[in-house]
Structure formats: structure tokens, C-alpha cells
Amino acid sequence: MFQHLDRYAGDPILSLNDEFQKDPRRDKVNLSIGIYFDNEGRIPVLQCVRDAEAAMLAESGPKPYLPIAGAPAMRAAVQQLLFGADHPALKAGRVVTLQTVGSSGGLKVGADFIKRWLPQSGMWMSDPSWDNHRAMFEGAGVAVHTYPYYDAASGGVRFDALCEAIDRLPPRSVLLLHACCHNPTGVDLGRDQWERLVPLLRRRELLPYLDLAYQGYGDGIAEDAFAVRLLADSGLSFFVANSFSKSMSVYGERAGALSVVCADAAEADRVYGQLQATVRRNYSSPAIHAAGIVTRVLGEAKLRAAWEADVAAMRQRIQAMRHSLHATLSAKKPGRDFGYFLTQRGMFSYTGLSAAQVDRLREQYGVYLIRSGRICVAGLNTGNVERTANAMAAVID
């Protein structure tokens, strides 16, 4: 029955993380997967999440199915978080939000919806992007293309080339954009660039699809929602998938959401209905525990304040690691400019290391990063950053 199946080569990120777990070397360093580790190398359990869970356990209520769209209280809290309290688009009923199975679940529901209701639309993603963007949209039957993004020479964005490419797209093309903390490069669009993009999106009648998986890891929780709020202000219709995996350190809970901003409330109502139909056909409804955590942490003042402080601390620790890596590498390789470690935002940095250098780092030094040269800076800590920088310097010619 299954003889004809191709072998699954494994996911480049998740398989590498598995390989890391099996490596017996004690001084190994995991810079592969986009997970925030604390200075002791552990996935933190945030106190606000513990408190939320303790309250949920104390209530020990029944666990019915959630509605297809998820918990209403979580959906409302997500809207406030993304768009800001009382955003006119929310007041006008133009925004629909569904709790989803992580933001990946949201991305896929959105992709299925696009295939069903905008069947001619292709999706354009940045070159490079998170590998799974392509896989998810192609899996939904949407043709996937790329637009120019990362400039290896300058370490910045090829913004003019990006605009030129977008200017040639057919109307209703989907433009996948990282709202902050670009994965894998760490190179974000500046605010002025987002502002310049809006008239182009409008003129070409494009459909932006924002991926917001790292909110709070760039400049701040509200600051990292800049693109979401700018597009909402502009009156454009767009999608935004957001995640709490990283910001609340609840990866396995699959806590995410998908929001769609529509032209008016009547249109939003139709979109909402068809998104529910899409979810029902996929996984029926999302997880009740994830909803409980997110709703409490966002909605209860004490937990919210603790969470905001935790996110700030995680962001600042990553920044400190960026500075340490930069300092050691600059000292070791005085002729080279490692300034990009300081300007890139969020968990990831594109190091410019080749696949062969990445292999050497793993084999010889036990430092794991994906073969594109992306590192997860949050895997560094005061105990391993120097050693990692030395290993990197050793493989750089």
C-alpha cells in the first residue's frame, strides 16, 4: 500500500534540533531552532503563565470543545494586543480574529481560505523566508514566488528591488511580510519603508499577509505591532497570523491567532463565516488550555504587567548576547565588520556563514545552526557565547 512513498527528508529546522538533542557532547550549543532559552540554557516558564495555570487548575472546570473560532475572550484580547485598544477598525467591526493552533495553524487556515476564495492569487514571500511559509502555501495549492529582500552585500533590505518587484504583481496577489524580527535574517523593514509600501500595496491592489511570530522581541510589544497598526490605519484589507509561542514561552500549547481586516463589517462577517468553515474542515476547533493562558495573561492586570516585564527581559538578554558576540568576533577578526549582529532584530541573525562552515561548526565545535547560516541568538548565554564566537572565528577564513 505504501511502497511508493518518498522518504521524508525531515524538516531542516526541527530535524537539526533533534540531532542536537542526541549529540552527547556536554559543551554543545543549540542555535538551530527559534526558541528562547534563558541564561541557563532552559526554556523559561514565565511566572505569569504559572499563575494563570494555577488559577485554571483551581477552577478545575469542564473542558468542552471551544467554538470553531476559539475562545471569545482570547480573540478579543488578541485584537487589543495587535491593533491597540479601541482601534477604529475594531470599533467598525472590520476585524475578525480566530484563535488558531499556533500561528502556523493560522497561516495554514489563511492559505486554505485564499486558495478557496481567491483561487487566482499567488503568494510572494521574501527571499529568503521561513522555509515553512512556502511549504504551507504550496500545501494549500497556492503558487509561491519570492520577492527580493535580503541584501547580502550591505546586510540590509533591497528595498528598491522589492518595490519594483511588487509593482509588477497581478492584482490580489498575496504578499507575505514579516511584521517584525524577520525570520531568518533579523533584517526588518524600517518604519519609513513600511510607510512607503502602503501606497504601493493599495495601487497594485495587493493582499498583505503579516506573520507576527516574535512580537516583543524586536523593539517592544506595541512597537512590534507597528506594521499591523499602520496597515489597519490605511484601510487596506490584510491578514495577520500571530503567535504566543515565543512571547509567552508556551511553544507546545500551540497558542496563536489569525486576524483578517476587511473593508467593512458586512464583509468581515462573510470572511468570519468562511474562516470558520475552513477551520472545521481542518482541525475543528482550537485548544482550550492555550486560550485560558493567553486570556488571563493578557487580561489580568497583574499578570499582564509581569508578562510585559518578562518579554522586556528576554529582549534585553538577546541584545546583550548580540553585543557579546559582536565584541568577541570583532576582536578576533579585526578586519571584518560584524555590525550586523547589532542592527538585526529579534531572535535571529544571518551570519553569512556558508553551509560548509556551518557543517564545520557542528562537527568540530558542537555549535548547531541551520545551513542557511541563520543563528538563533537566544541560544547564546554568558556561559557559551565566548566559546561560540571563538568557534565562529575559527571557521571564518
Residues at the site binding ligand LMR, with contacts judged by CB under 6 A: 13, 33-34, 130, 183
Q: Is the dihedral of CA 338, 344, 348, 354 positive or negative?
A: negative
What's the rounded Cα separation, in Å, for the pair 119 and 130? Answer: 23
Instruction: Give 371's DSSP letter.
Output: T
| Residue nearer to ligand LMR on the CB measure, 31 or 389 | 31
Cβ at position 28, least distance to ligand LMR in Å:
17
The residue from 188, 211, 224, 310 that is catalytic is 211
Nearer to ligand LMR (CB atom), residue 71 or residue 187: 187
> For residues 183 and 285, which CB has a smaller minimum distance to ligand LMR in the complex?
183
Rounded to the nearest whole angstrom, what is the least distance from the CB of residue 120 to ligand LMR in the complex? 29
Contacts 24+ apart (CB under 8 A), 363-366: 364/391, 364/394, 364/395, 365/29, 365/391, 365/394, 365/395, 366/23, 366/25, 366/27, 366/28, 366/29
Q: Among residues 79 and 183, whose Cβ is nearest to ligand LMR?
A: 183
- Among 210, 189, 316, which Cα is nearest to 258's? 210
How near is the Cβ of 235 to ligand LMR at its closest, in Å?
Answer: 31
Active site residue 131: no
Burial-class residue 17 by CB neighbours within 10 Å (0-12, 13-18, 19+). Answer: middle
Q: Name the residue with the smallest CB distance to ligand LMR.
A: 34
Beta bridge partners of 258: 98, 241
Measured between its terminal Cα atoms, the distance across the chain in Å is 51
Provide, rounded to whole angstroms, the least separation between the CB of residue 240 and ligand LMR.
16
Beta strands in 247-343 (DSSP E): 255-261
d(CA 34, CA 38): 13
Q: Smaller CB distance to ligand LMR: residue 52 or 111?
A: 111
Residue 334 burial (C-beta neighbours within 10 Å; 0-12, 13-18, 19+): exposed
From the CB of residue 235, how many other CB atoms can be counted at a distance below 10 Å?
A: 13
Shortest Cβ 136–ligand LMR spacing (Å): 11
Q: Identify the DSSP state of 346.
A: S
Report the SS3 class of residue 36. coil
Catalytic residue among 124, 246, 307, 310: 246
Nearer to ligand LMR (CB atom), residue 23 or residue 167: 23
Side-chain half-sphere of 83: how many Cα atoms within 13 Å? 32
> Which set of grid coordinates corresponds to residue 201?
500595496
**CA dist list (Å): 28 to 20, 180, 345, 347:** 8, 29, 25, 19
Positive or negative, the Cα torsion across 167, 171, 174, 179? positive
| Active-site option among 108, 130, 188, 307 | 130
Report the phi/psi class of residue 371: left, alpha or beta, with left for phi > 0 and alpha for psi in -120 to 50: alpha
The yes-or-no answer on residue 246 being catalytic is yes
Shortest Å distance, C-beta 336 to ligand LMR: 26
CB of 34 to ligand LMR, least distance (A): 3
Nearer to ligand LMR, 44 or 72 (CB): 44
Give min distance, CB of 262 to ligand LMR, in A. Answer: 28
211 counts as catalytic: yes
Nearer CB in complex with ligand LMR: 33/98: 33
User: Which residues carry out catalysis?
Assistant: 130, 211, 246
